[in-house]
């Protein structure tokens, strides 16, 4: 036990009228929404990196947080950090957590020394998880922070770094498998480039494709049943990231024969950086059959960089879950809070309140999304808008060719009559639910 959270009690559901700053007003794990418990729909995870590894630095200043596990360079303090993390999990009652190797263990002076530290903490997690409901949503490798990754991991021009990346991912997949993780994620931290003047893009993409094939082969070799997920992001830290957005990733997966093996972990903030909305990315992934999991957060709409704030916008979140529910909901995936405190939010209470608020916003969004689906208004509007395609003539056209279609149009049998897209009416409809 640490005294970091000072014995804070587990957060309770008190209903929408509660005025307590630390109570759930909407997240009621056992409440049934569209035939499924809310906890089983949302599948919340706490992200170790933002909540326990990040020290409050930004590009202009260093650490603002002072935690009992600082400095993070020693295995004893890594265990104190783990103690505090599981205390937060007990307070929130969320079912999952997620980590990078570098979040949970101190870096050693060799690959083998880092691995010993990592395995010590994995043992420690295993012991803690054996007496709790907390499970692992996914594990991943941090292949972007240490200077060895400055020119990329699997796309590095140096084959020694490719080798180091492969060995690192193997250890993280082994640990994820051991902890019964439900997915394994690869975010291409520095898989991209700063300038084409020193970059052979075609060769780097081929290496990244080969690397991901090795990951999939290893998953099958060890019998890992979870999903392999890649996470799109358009820029930052590299000027040009290869995994730009959902459709770019899908094209990459298809080129390297992985579209049936790998799915996507989509993030609200990354969608915004790519010039998309979150629901666009989710709808694109569901249309392509590759929705895996989500990293829930929000970006600042003015600053233009990845601010990783906790979500607080019900309409945005509702439309995201609308597309997730429409796709049948999560299978192995879940809602991971890839979100961090503001650097002035120093207190343990801030960390709890941030998650409580985020979970509540997601619960509100989920309930609104379910209500819209059950009402069916948006589906009816879509069916009406595309009704012309239900005729035998329209279906036959799809089997025809340009010449036969030309004959229909040229003889005057086809005469388009523009119809309203009804956008404002549909926006007003959504506003009834959010």
Q: Which residues are annotated as a binding site for Mg(2+)?
A: 231, 267, 270, 295, 306, 308, 338
Task: Compute the least distance from the CB of residue 302 to Mn ion, in Å.
Answer: 21
Q: Which of 267, 360 has the CB closer to Mn ion?
A: 267
Rounded to whole angstroms, the Cα distance separating 241 from 66 reads 33
- Quick note: the x/- pattern for Mn ion over 208-247, rule CB under 5 A, is ----------------------------------------
- Tell me the binding residues: 231, 267, 270, 295, 306, 308, 338
Q: Which of 140, 165 has the CB closer to Mn ion?
A: 140
Interaction of residue 103 with Mn ion, rule CB under 5 A: no
Q: Which of 39, 267 has the CB closer to Mn ion?
A: 267
Candidates 247-255, 260-268, 312-320, 416-424 — which segment interacts with Mn ion by CB under 5 A? 260-268
Identify the sign of the CA torsion 355, 356, 359, 362: negative
Point out the catalytic residue in the list 41, 100, 207, 355.
100
Candidates 77-85, 99-107, 253-261, 335-343 — which segment interacts with Mn ion by CB under 5 A? 335-343
Interaction of residue 338 with Mn ion, rule CB under 5 A: yes
Task: Compute the least distance from the CB of residue 100 to Mn ion, in Å.
Answer: 10
Candidates 123-131, 162-170, 334-342, 391-399 — which segment interacts with Mn ion by CB under 5 A? 334-342
Task: Compute the least distance from the CB of residue 266 to Mn ion, in Å.
Answer: 9
Point out the catalytic residue in the list 103, 174, 243, 245.
103
The full DSSP string for 69-125 is T-S--SHHHHHHHHHHHHHHHHHH--SEEEEEHHHHS---SSHHHHHHHHHHHHHHH
Q: Which of 258, 296 has the CB closer to Mn ion?
A: 296
Candidates 31-39, 203-211, 265-273, 359-367 — which segment interacts with Mn ion by CB under 5 A? 265-273
* Cα-trace Rg, the chain: 24
Interaction of residue 267 with Mn ion, rule CB under 5 A: yes
Residues in Cβ contact with 339 at an 8 Å cutoff, skipping those fewer than 6 apart:
47, 50, 296, 297, 298, 308, 309, 310, 311, 354, 358
> What does the block give as tokens for 391?
């005729």
Task: Compute the least distance from the CB of residue 315 to Mn ion, in Å.
Answer: 22
Candidates 100-108, 163-171, 245-253, 333-341 — which segment interacts with Mn ion by CB under 5 A? 333-341
Residues in Cβ contact with 17 at an 8 Å cutoff, skipping those fewer than 6 apart:
25
Interaction of residue 39 with Mn ion, rule CB under 5 A: no
Q: Is 207 tagged catalytic?
A: no
- Using CB under 5 A as the binding criterion, the count of chain residues that bind Mn ion stands at 3
Residues in Cβ contact with 142 at an 8 Å cutoff, skipping those fewer than 6 apart:
49, 100, 101, 102, 103, 189
Q: Is 103 tagged catalytic?
A: yes
> What does the block give as tokens for 45?
């995870």
Rounded to whole angstroms, the Cα distance separating 176 from 313 reads 32
Interaction of residue 295 with Mn ion, rule CB under 5 A: yes
Rounded to whole angstroms, the Cα distance separating 218 from 210 reads 12
Task: Compute the least distance from the CB of residue 141 to Mn ion, in Å.
Answer: 14
Task: Compute the least distance from the CB of residue 89 to Mn ion, in Å.
Answer: 19
Q: Which of residues 373-402 bind Mn ion (CB under 5 A)?
A: none
Q: Which of 99, 433 has the CB closer to Mn ion?
A: 99
Q: Which of 267, 281 has the CB closer to Mn ion?
A: 267
Q: Kindly report whether the peptide bond that precedes residue 71 is cis, defined as omega within 30 degrees of 0.
A: yes
CA dist 423 → 307, 323, 365, 378, 428 (Å): 30, 18, 21, 11, 9
Task: Compute the least distance from the CB of residue 99 to Mn ion, in Å.
Answer: 12
> What does the block give as tokens for 177?
């498998």
Which residue is associated with the tokens 């086809």?
414
Q: Which of 142, 171 has the CB closer to Mn ion?
A: 142
Rounded to whole angstroms, the Cα distance separating 11 from 23 reads 6
Q: Kindly report whether the peptide bond that precedes residue 237 is cis, defined as omega within 30 degrees of 0.
A: yes
Which residue is associated with the tokens 């192995």?
332
Interaction of residue 174 with Mn ion, rule CB under 5 A: no
Interaction of residue 182 with Mn ion, rule CB under 5 A: no
Rounded to whole angstroms, the Cα distance separating 312 from 263 reads 27
> What does the block give as tokens for 79?
């265990």
Which residue is associated with the tokens 């101190």?
106
Interacting residues toward Mn ion by CB under 5 A: 267, 295, 338
* Catalytic positions, written as ranges: 100, 103
């Amino acid at each position: 036990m640490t005294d970091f959270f000072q014995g804070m009690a587990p957060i309770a559901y008190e209903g929408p009228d509660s005025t307590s700053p630390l109570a759930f007003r909407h997240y009621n794990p056992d409440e049934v929404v569209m035939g499924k418990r809310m906890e089983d729909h949302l599948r919340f995870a706490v992200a170790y990196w933002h909540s326990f590894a990040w020290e409050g630095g930004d590009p202009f200043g260093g650490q603002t947080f002072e935690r009992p596990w600082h400095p993070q360079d020693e295995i004893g303090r890594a265990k104190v950090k783990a103690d505090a993390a599981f205390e937060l999990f007990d307070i929130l009652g969320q079912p999952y957590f997620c980590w990078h190797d570098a979040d949970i263990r101190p870096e050693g002076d060799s690959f083998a020394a880092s691995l010993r530290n990592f395995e010590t903490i994995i043992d420690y997690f295993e012991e803690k998880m054996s007496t709790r409901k907390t499970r692992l949503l996914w594990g991943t490798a941090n292949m972007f922070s240490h200077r060895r990754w400055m020119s990329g991991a699997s796309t590095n021009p140096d084959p020694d770094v490719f080798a180091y990346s492969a060995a690192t991912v193997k250890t993280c997949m082994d640990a994820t498998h051991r902890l019964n993780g439900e997915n394994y994620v690869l975010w291409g931290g520095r898989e991209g480039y700063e300038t084409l003047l020193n970059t052979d893009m075609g060769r780097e993409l081929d290496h990244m494709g080969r690397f991901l094939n090795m990951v999939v082969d290893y998953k099958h070799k060890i019998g890992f049943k979870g999903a392999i997920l890649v996470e799109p992001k358009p820029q930052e830290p590299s000027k040009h990231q290869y995994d730009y957005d959902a459709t770019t990733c899908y094209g990459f997966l298809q080129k390297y024969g992985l579209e049936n093996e790998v799915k996507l972990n989509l993030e609200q903030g990354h969608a915004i950086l790519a010039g998309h909305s979150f629901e666009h990315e989710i709808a694109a992934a569901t249309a392509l059959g590759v929705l895996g999991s989500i990293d829930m957060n929000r970006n600042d709409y003015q600053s233009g960089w990845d601010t990783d704030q906790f979500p607080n916008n019900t309409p945005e979140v509702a439309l995201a879950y609308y597309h997730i529910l429409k796709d049948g909901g999560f299978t192995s995936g879940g809602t991971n809070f890839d979100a961090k405190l503001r650097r002035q939010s120093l207190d343990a209470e801030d960390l709890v309140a941030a998650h409580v608020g985020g979970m509540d916003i997601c619960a509100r969004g989920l309930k609104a999304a379910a209500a819209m689906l059950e009402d069916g208004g948006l589906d009816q509007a879509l069916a009406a808008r595309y009704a012309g395609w239900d005729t035998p003539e329209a279906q036959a056209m799809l089997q025809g060719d340009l010449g036969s279609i030309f004959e229909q149009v040229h003889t005057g049998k086809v005469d388009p009559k523009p119809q309203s897209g009804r956008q404002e009416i549909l926006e007003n409809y959504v506003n009834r639910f959010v």
